[in-house]
Amino acid sequence: MNLEKVVFGFFVLLAATLNFGFFIGDIGDPELHNSYELYAAVVVNLIATVLKFGDRTQIGAVHLATSLVADLQLIAAALVWGYASYVSTEGLTREATASVVSLSGGALMANIVSVVLLVVETISFHRR
Amino acid sequence: MTNPLLLFWYRMFSDDRPARRRPARWRVPLASRRQPSATIFLVMRRMRAPLIVLIAIFAISTVGLTLIPGQDLEGRPWRMGFFDAFYVMSYTASTIGFGEIPYPFTYNQRMWVTISIYLTVVGWAYAIGSLLALVQERSFRQALSLQHFTRKVQRLNEPFLIIAGYGRTGELLAGSLDALGRRFVVIDRDDERIDDLYTDSFHADIPGLAADAGDPGHLAIAGLDHPHCEGVLALTDDDETNLAVIQTAALLRPELPTIARAVSPTVSERMRAFGTPTVVNPFDRFGDHLRIALRAPASYQLMTWLESGPGAPLPPRGSPPSHGHWVMCGYGRFGREVTEDLRAEGLDVAIIESRDVTDHQPDAIIGSGYDPTVLAAAGIDEAVGFVAGTDNDTTNLSLVIAARKANPKVFVAARQNKAASASLFAAIDVDSLLVPADVVAHEVYAQLSAPLMWRFLQEVPLRDDAWAAGVIDRLMELCGEHLQSLWKVRLTPTEAPALQGWLGTGQARLGDLLRNPDEREERLHTVALLLARSGQIEVAPSDDFLLQRDDELLLVGWPSARRLLDTTLLVDATRAYVVSGRYVPSSWIWRRLSRRAA
């Protein structure tokens, strides 16, 4: 068992699951989307990205790309959330919640691709 | 050639020019252990751990701050949001410290912030420290410099040479080639030599790589597969490495000319098995030179002068004794070559060597040359010549002193091994000095600077001494005591358009061509050393020599003479004045008018 692979798989999967957990539920209802979950998703995604640094294979490059997309989407979601709750006079409205959740939905797509890549990599791994 | 049909026609049916046709060959494999790695990957891989630590510390301290209950200005319970928490942690972690916002903290919060401060500062210090350490690290800097080198080589867009080995020979040669305006790339195993390369002042920007030249991958990085690479010089002090370089070049780019330094005859033979490299053996060359010097001192003087490159002063004309008894100290590779050459000249040679070499030379005296009894046994008293030829400079200096003490009139030749000993050998003032590095550098320079020059040097030993003395006198009279620049002129329609009609008359005297365009009674300060005509050569042609179309001339002279000669070659009016003394108007209108008047 390779500890590096365990850590890597753990973070990639955790990023996807947290993202999914935040995303699920009525898209416009702020009650159903916990900000702590979004926060955790951002942090775990960042860690997953750093873990993918420096891999020079083709699959490694695609891995890194998907993670960067997810980061971008999640950070955008966090920014929208921060703007709605602190700057905007209207507070966290239905519209703002919907845009935060839909951005995290985009990130979820990228995270799913990441998990698929992980599975593909695992299946195509031959011990030579 | 914008018409596609014409382009098609041209592509399909025109003959490719020979320059465009390249022999089929294997691509040079660029794979090498030190293949220029994308440096960014190295940074990213090394920064994984510090960045993850930093992210984790930030995440924990921010989330902690949002969880700990605080209170607002009126004392109502209040919890910090993510944005506030992240903001506070950002300025706290980076030690900026704006204070407690938006409301003063409770003691609970302060305790957490205290812990966070220590955590985050450690995290930052770790990340920044790792980054700085990475930048300082040797492998990272090597990766950077390798990338830099590769980029510079790839961007070379004019013909260049690869010099493997930047020792004393490489340095001398690099200086002379740079003065000629030639481009080259240097590989040497020693980092310090490559640093020296960057501190030496060259006109051109010279890419240098600190790597083993024997590795084909390194030669490929240095531009062996570059379309502009025009030759490979293997000049390291290790015969095996030179052989490896020659092999690589001969197998991957068989059409490239190669020149190698080799001391051992076996390695020379092995090199010659690969294509046609020019192998320079400094000891062999010194022996040959010594023979020429014994037979024809002026020829030897002329050759050394021309090989020294532009700016060199005329070397003194030595007069080694050509009859009598010689004593040879040191019977290594150098001693063997020189002894053979001296004996071939009919001289009697006694050998002194500290090792037992009696199976090669039964008469050799075993002992130290600086021992007076050994010297006496070798017959130093009646000797006319003495050679100090060991591979140790200290020994050679002692030998010279001991020999002079025993016989003050003896002609002394010595071998200088290290560049650092140059001043000592200059002070002891030997009659003939061999510096192997200089011999190789001069030889390679002569071959590279001008192929005609090389042919001239091959011709000199075949002529007699008086002829060489005559050439030296002409050079001294017209160009002074320092060797001036060398250049080649081809009397083709493109390079000498103004001369074509005159050359066709069959009355074109060389002496007329070399007149001064400002005042034709004066001669240009230049001497024609060699004339080549369709494979035939004429060495040092006289003024009455008749020129023909497409002749090639090797000239030596002042740079100003070169400029003046160029006007004669290019401008009709100048040519007419120089050749016949008539003033011809240079504009077309005036030429028409004057022709009508005449």
Q: B258-317 pLDDT, tens per residue?
A: 899 888 888 888 888 887 888 888 888 888 888 888 888 888 888 888 877 777 888 877
The partner residue sitting opposite B55, judged by closest CB among A43, A53, A56, is A43
Chain A nearest-CA distance from B114, in A, is: 22
Band of residue B15 on the pLDDT scale cut at 50, 70, 90 = very low
Contact map slice: B 58-77 vs A, CB within 8 A: 58-59, 62-63, 66
Q: Are B162 and B253 in contact (CB under 8 A)?
A: no
Confidence band for B16, pLDDT divided at 50, 70 and 90: very low
From residue A72, give the alpha-carbon distance in Å to each of A77, B27, B122, B377.
9, 43, 27, 92
Closest C-alpha to B307, from B279, B321, B286, B291: B286
User: Who contacts B483 (Cβ-Cβ below 8 Å, separation ≥6)?
Assistant: B305, B306, B308, B309, B310, B311, B312, B313, B314, B475, B556
For residue A47, give the chain B residue with the closest CA: B52
Q: Give me the helices (H) in B156-238, please.
A: 168-179, 191-199, 216-221
Q: Give CA angle at B521 (B517, B522), nearest 5°.
A: 70
B184 CA to centre of own chain? 6
Which residues on neighbouring strands pair with residue B77, listed in sequence order?
Answer: B71
Q: How much is the pLDDT for A113? A: 95
B79 in contact with A at a CB cutoff of 8 Å?
no
Say whether B81 and A85 touch across the interface (CB within 8 A): yes
Exposed e or buried b for every residue in B315-325, given b needs 16+ CB within 10 A? Answer: eebbebbbeeb
Q: What is the pLDDT of residue B25?
A: 44
Q: Which of B55, B63, B84 has the CB atom closest to A47's CB atom?
A: B55
B449 vs B452: CA distance, rounded Å: 9
Tell me how close the Cα of B30 comes to any Cα of chain A, in angstroms: 18
Q: Which residue of B has its CA nearest to A57?
A: B41
Supply B372's token pair: 């007076």
Q: How far is B484 from chain A (nearest CA, A)?
A: 56
Cβ within 8 Å, pair A39-B52: no
Closest to A70 in 3D by CA, of A105, A116, A120, A27 = A105
% of chain B beyond a pLDDT of 70: 91
Q: How far is B63 from chain A (nearest CA, A)?
A: 8
Q: Which is higher by pLDDT, B46 or B88?
A: B88
Residue B588, CA distances (Å) to B259, B501, B567, B576, B584 in order: 51, 17, 17, 14, 10
User: Using a CB-CB distance cutoff of 8 angstroms, which residues of chain B are in contact with residue A51?
Assistant: 48, 52
C-alpha–C-alpha distance, residues B33 and B19, integer Å: 34
Q: Cβ(B277)–Cβ(B255) under 8 Å?
A: no
Residues 6 or more apart whose CB falls under 8 angstroms from that of B435 comprise B416, B419, B422
Residue B196, pLDDT score: 84
Q: CA of B301: how far to CAs of B50, B75, B319, B478, in Å?
A: 69, 104, 10, 18
Say which of A35, A46, A50 has its CB closest to residue B82: A35
Whether residue B298 contacts residue B468, with contact meaning beta carbons closer than 8 Å, is answered with: yes
Decide if A39 and B82 are in contact by the 8 Å CB cutoff. yes
In this prediction, residue A72 carries a pLDDT of 95
- Give residue-wise pLDDT tens across range B95-123: 788 888 888 888 889 889 989 988 888 89
Enumerate the residues of chain B whose CB falls inside 8 A of the CB of residue A48.
none
Structural domains present in chain B? 1-155 (1.10.287), 156-280 (3.40.50.720), 286-449 (3.40.50.720), 484-589 (3.30.70.1450)
What average pLDDT is seen over chain B? 82
* Res. B148 pLDDT band, cuts 50 70 90: confident
The one-letter amino acid code at B383 reads A
Q: What is the mean pLDDT of residues B42-67?
A: 88
Exposure string for B376-388, b = 16+ CB within 10 A, e = fewer: eebebeebbbbbb
Q: Which of residues 44-73 of A touch B (CB under 8 A)?
A: 46-47, 50-51, 53-54, 56
Is residue B21 scored above 60 in pLDDT? no
Of B548, B550, B551, give the one whose Cα is nearest residue B503. B548
| Residue B581 pLDDT exceeds 80 | no
Residue B80's alpha-carbon distances to A22, A59, B67, B74, B293, in angstroms, are 21, 41, 8, 15, 96
Report the candidate in B104, B114, B101, B99 with the shortest Cα–Cα distance to residue B64. B114
Which comes out higher in pLDDT, residue A81 or B502?
A: A81
Chain B, 19 to 58: residues with Cβ < 8 Å from chain A are 38, 41-42, 44-48, 51-52, 55-56, 58
Contact B52 A82 (CB under 8 A): no
- CB atoms under 10 Å from CB of B473, counted, come to 11
Q: Do B55 and A46 touch (CB under 8 A)?
A: yes
Q: Are the Cβ atoms of B83 and A86 closer than 8 angstroms?
A: yes
Distance from CA of B123 to the nearest CA of A (A): 15
Q: Apex CA B418: angle with CA B417 and CA B424, to 5°?
A: 95
Contacts of B41 in chain A (CB under 8 A): 54, 56
What value, to the nearest 5°, has the Cα angle with vertex B218 and ends B216 and B220?
A: 70
User: Using the beta-carbon criterion (under 8 Å), do B48 and A51 form an inter-chain contact?
Assistant: yes
Four-CA torsion B254, B258, B264, B270, nearest 10 degrees: 10
Q: How far is CA B67 from CA B103, B269, B418, in A?
A: 16, 83, 75
Phi, psi of B210 (to 5 degrees): -90, 100
Number of residues assigned to chain A: 128
Would the CB atoms of B47 and A51 count as touching at under 8 Å? no
- Spell out which residues of chain A touch residue B59, defining contact as CB-CB under 8 Å: 39, 43
Q: Which residue has the tokens 């702590």?
A: A36
Decide if pLDDT at A97 tops 50.
Answer: yes
Which of A26-35, A119-128, B221-230 is least confident? A119-128
What pLDDT was estimated at residue B2?
44
Q: Is there a contact between A56 and B81 if contact means CB atoms under 8 Å apart?
A: no
pLDDT tens-digit map of B179-211: 878 889 999 988 888 888 888 778 888 888 888
Token duo for residue B125 = 């210090």
Most confident of A60-64, B350-354, B567-571: A60-64
Per DSSP, A25 falls in state S
- Report the pLDDT value the prediction gives residue A12, as an integer from 0 to 100: 93
pLDDT score at B39: 66
The span from the CA of A41 to the CA of A101, in Å, is: 12
Each residue's pLDDT tens digit, B389-422: 888 889 888 888 888 888 888 888 888 888 888 8
For chain B, report the end-to-end CA distance as a whole number of angstroms: 46
Mean pLDDT value across residues B374-385? 84
Task: Give the model's pLDDT for residue B422.
Answer: 85
Please give, rounded to a whole number of angstroms, the shortest distance from the CA of B147 to a CA of chain A: 17
Who's near B317: CB < 8 A, 6+ residues apart?
B297, B298, B300, B301
Q: How far is B48 from chain A (nearest CA, A)?
A: 6
Beta bridge partners of B138: none
Average pLDDT over residues A7-16: 92
This prediction's pTM? 0.65
pLDDT in tens, B526-555: 888 888 888 788 888 888 888 888 888 888
Most B CBs within 10 Å, among A39, A45, A55, A58, to test the B interface: A39
Query: pLDDT tens digits for A17-76?
Result: 999 999 999 998 989 999 899 999 999 999 999 988 877 778 888 999 999 999 999 999
Split at pLDDT 50, 70, 90, the class of B17 is very low
8-state DSSP, B315: P
Edge-first strand order for the sheet with B526-533 is B485-490, B552-557, B526-533, B536-539
Q: Both tokens of residue B224?
A: 């062996």
Q: What pLDDT is recorded for position A70?
A: 96
> B52: nearest CA in chain A?
A47
B595 lies within 8 A of chain A by CB = no
Percent residues over pLDDT 90 in chain B? 8
**What whole-number distance in Å separates Cα of residue A104 and Cα of residue B237?**
66
**ipTM score above 0.85:** no
Task: List the beta strands (DSSP E) in B283-341.
Answer: 325-329
Omega cis (within 30) before B102: yes
pLDDT grade for B241, boundaries at 50, 70 and 90: very high
Residue of A43, A54, A82 lying closest to B83 (CB–CB): A82
State residue B26's pLDDT score: 46
| pLDDT tens sequence across B302-349 | 888 887 777 788 887 777 777 888 888 888 888 888 888 888 888 888
